[in-house]
Structure 1
Amino acid sequence: MQRLQIAVSSQGGCQVVDVAGEVDMSTCAQLAAALERGREPGVPLVADLADVEFFDASGLRALLAANDGGPRWGSPLRVVPSRAVDLVIEVSGAWHLLAVFPDRRRALEGGPAVRRPSAVS
């Protein structure tokens, strides 16, 4: 089994980057490339990280970079974190910088993001 599995698809009017496995220094470039590949002008981008088992600061940097590019694409990044991802977002204080959603359905619908620590139960 690969350490990181990524798929990019369209769903519910959004581009979705599904990520499973481990995101660390050796795999974060793959995540960053997939997030860039998933961008389309005016189309929301959802990073579904619900199946990520390990996540470190290098993965967070990739998310923040993709989010910073949001205005140029007309839509911020929407993040669906696993517990491992949520923990890094919470500890770093980055939860107020990202649009975090508790599940994929809510991320696809848009609406208000969860703007507090421990978005995932």
Structure 2
Amino acid sequence: MAPLTLTHQHLPGMSVIALAGEVDRTNSAQLADYVARIRRPGDHVIFDLAELSFLDSSGLHVLLACARTCADEGAAAHLAAAKGAPARLLRITGVDARLPTYVTTEHAIATVLATRTS
């Protein structure tokens, strides 16, 4: 299993969280803790999935929990740059139709910035 690596950056009105490696039941709590620690209340969260090679239902649960929290605060969780197995899981579960999904992280960031200024 590829270890999970998490990084983030704060931009105006959003937190961008990059996931690399694999998320499964052995480390999904690590992801949940990280999201809770760095997410700013009321901010959008963009999950950059470009370097994520595996995602299971426990990781999906973390993404959806974050989406609920964001929605409660008038923001949203966004998914960006998913490919391979994670993209397939998002597609077959319908999560990619439920959450805003973008081909690139840059597009997600630009969209959130545009909605904040309009």
TM-score range, shorter chain: 0.7 to 0.9
Is residue 58 of structure 1 aligned with residue 58 of structure 2?
yes
**Counterpart residue type for residue 5 of structure 1:** T
Aligned residue pairs, count: 111
**Distance in 2 (alpha carbons) for counterparts of 1:97 and 1:13:** 21
- What's the counterpart of residue 5 of structure 1? 5
- What's the counterpart of residue 84 of structure 1? 85
1:101 Cα deviation after fit: 1.0
Secondary structure of the 1:79 match is strand
Relative distance call for 1:2 and 1:83 in structure 2 (3 A) is closer
Q: Is the 8 A contact 1:67 1:76 kept in 2?
A: yes
- What's the counterpart of residue 15 of structure 1? 15
The percentage of counterpart residues that share the same residue type is: 30
- RMSD over aligned Cα, in angstroms? 2.0
- What's the counterpart of residue 105 of structure 2? 104
| TM-score, with structure 2 as normaliser | 0.82
Q: Which has the higher helix share?
A: 2
Relative distance call for 1:38 and 1:99 in structure 2 (3 A) is farther
**Distance in 2 (alpha carbons) for counterparts of 1:2 and 1:63:** 19
